[in-house]
A and B are shown apart, each in its own frame.
Chain A
């Protein structure tokens, strides 16, 4: 291969693109990463940064658990500013119906060897005294954690660079295909494979893929050390996250290392503007205060929004885009991109090398039928 040509050009230096760059560079491919902005400046900077196991589907469970284990392997290398904290997740059950879901989850996790624990109402009150009294109980997943995603993305990029990857920031890409990447300034790069890791903006470069923007809001408070000790998520979250059409909010808070409390979450389709939507922000904070009444006495210091890259079946698109043999996708991670970034990088590198993966790759292939539903809506 001649100079100036790359084996792999990755468009997007978010955490997914960063993980793909690392895995490809580690395998001695010649890698370039392009981003129109900075490292981890899109959904990576806007998200909560959880490293969680999720069980909406078998494929989602396999990807999140595999990726969580990869994060745990990487943990000794992570710099302090990545703030990896294994705080655990508590799924909060507000009533008996949600407690039934706790028991279902417990048996699911147990069968698959994921440590977890059912919490009684008393356990929950002892572990998280700022939750509203009278909850039915909860489900503790101790190996879940949180980290600070922009620094994690930077760490992955720097590691990729140590393996020889090239990074070009402030480089807008206007077109990809046929082994070429055209920048907005008209210059071109030549690549064996182009990976579209542009998150919610991926459809602008690869027309027809079933990725939509799903807007979210987050709020961070001033420092209130020990206000919350675990990541807390309402079990009603499942109903909210599954509503594919309407706007929804759910209670989800995280302790940050500074003592700040990160408060979410909201989900909106069709909202393309990045400004704060006060109506849904109000609903989100009301929901949070229903679960943690004392949040009302805390001081919020910042509110921001971001765009998740959502697919119809809640699974990312990882692998070849069938309509151009040089284009691969690594997008559609919705709210789980921080968790699933490392597994995405591994699966993509496995695919490019034609080697077996530790988990089945088929559920995430862009060619799967269930990924195409958006196109017919």
Chain B
């Protein structure tokens, strides 16, 4: 059994396996990462930091690529999707 990490997504507690990306935590929470300028929900497409579709706010910093950041204990993640 791997170690677990507790984060929050839009204020809601979520627990994921240690080493999980923020994008994974957002998916566990059932949220989309962001909303496009035309109002469409967006999430990780390439999963390797190229497409910028998975941007979320992490600990107060906007537009972080959630697929490239590992969850750490107590991390506050906010999405607009």
Which A residues contact B (CB, under 8 angstroms)?
A: 222-224, 258, 297-299
B37 touches A222 (CB 8 A): no
* Per-residue interface assignment for chain B, residues 55 to 67, with 1 indicating a CB less than 8 Å from any chain A CB and 0 otherwise: 1000001110000
Interface residues of B (CB under 8 A from A): 37, 55, 61-63
State the main secondary structure of chain B at its contact with A. strand
Closest 5 CB pairs of A and B: A222-B63, A299-B63, A224-B62, A258-B37, A297-B61
Minimum C-beta distance from B51 to chain A (A): 13
Contacts of A299 in B (CB 8 A): 63
Q: A222-B63, A298-B62, A299-B63 are in contact. List 8 more A-B contacts (CB 8 A).
A: A222-B55, A223-B37, A223-B63, A224-B62, A224-B63, A258-B37, A297-B61, A298-B63
A224 to B61, CA, bound (A): 10
Q: List chain B residues, Cβ under 8 A from A258.
A: 37
Q: What chain B residues lie within 8 Å of A297 (beta carbons)?
A: 61
Whole-angstrom CA separation of A224 from B55 in the bound complex: 12
A222–B57 CA distance with the chains assembled, in angstroms: 13
Main secondary structure of the interface of A (DSSP, over half): loop
Minimum C-beta distance from B58 to chain A (A)? 12
Smallest beta-carbon distance B13→chain A, Å:
26
Q: How far apart are the CA atoms of A222 and B34 in the complex, in Å? A: 13
12 contacts between A and B (CB under 8 A): A222-B55, A222-B62, A222-B63, A223-B37, A223-B63, A224-B62, A224-B63, A258-B37, A297-B61, A298-B62, A298-B63, A299-B63
B22 to chain A, nearest CB (A): 16
List B contacts of A222 (CB < 8 A): 55, 62-63
A residues near B37, Cβ cutoff 8 Å: 223, 258
Shortest B66–chain A CB gap in Å is 14
Chain A residues positioned under 8 Å from B55 (CB to CB): 222
Distance in Å: Cβ of A90 to nearest Cβ of chain B: 23
In angstroms, Cα B38 to Cα A258, docked, is 10
Residues of A within 8 A of B63 (CB): 222-224, 298-299
Question: Which residues on B sit within 8 Å (CB–CB) of A298?
Answer: 62-63
- Chain A residues whose C-beta falls within 8 Å of the C-beta of B62 in the assembled complex: 222, 224, 298
A222's nearest neighbour on chain B, judged by CB, is B63
- Complex Cα gap A218–B60 (Å): 26
How long is the Cα–Cα vector from A297 to B62 in the complex, in angstroms?
Answer: 9
Closest partner residue, chain B, to A258 (CB atom):
B37
In the complex, which of the residues A224, A298, A299 has the most CB atoms of chain B within 10 Å of its own CB atom? A299
CB distance from B74 to the nearest CB of A (A): 20
Cα(A223)–Cα(B38), bound, Å: 13
Report chain B residues within 8 Å CB of A224. 62-63
In Å, the complex CA distance between A279 and B63 comes to 26
Central interface residue in B37, B55, B61, B63, by most chain A CB within 10 Å: B63
Cα(A239)–Cα(B63), bound, Å: 35
Tell me, in angstroms, the Cα distance from A239 to B39 when the chains sit together.
43
Q: How far is the CA of A298 from the CA of B64 in the complex (A)?
A: 10
Q: Which residue of chain B is the closest to A221 with respect to CB atoms?
A: B63
Could you tell me the distance between the alpha carbons of A191 and B9 in the complex, rounded to whole angstroms?
67
Residue of B nearest to A301 (CB): B52
The distance from the CB of B2 to the nearest CB of chain A, in whole angstroms, is 32
Q: How far is the CB of B35 from chain A (nearest CB, A)?
A: 10
C-alpha spacing A224/B62, complex, angstroms: 8
Give the CA-CA distance A263 to B37 in the complex, in Å.
20
Output the least CB separation between A123 and chain B (Å).
26
- Closest partner residue, chain B, to A224 (CB atom): B62
Chain B residue nearest to A259 in the complex (CB)? B37
Complex Cα spacing A299 to B37, Å: 17
User: Nearest Cβ distance between residue A295 and chain B, in whole angstroms?
Assistant: 12
**Nearest chain-A residue to B62 (Cβ)?**
A224
Docked pose: A223 CA to B37 CA in angstroms: 9
- Give A298 to B60 CA distance when docked, in angstroms: 12
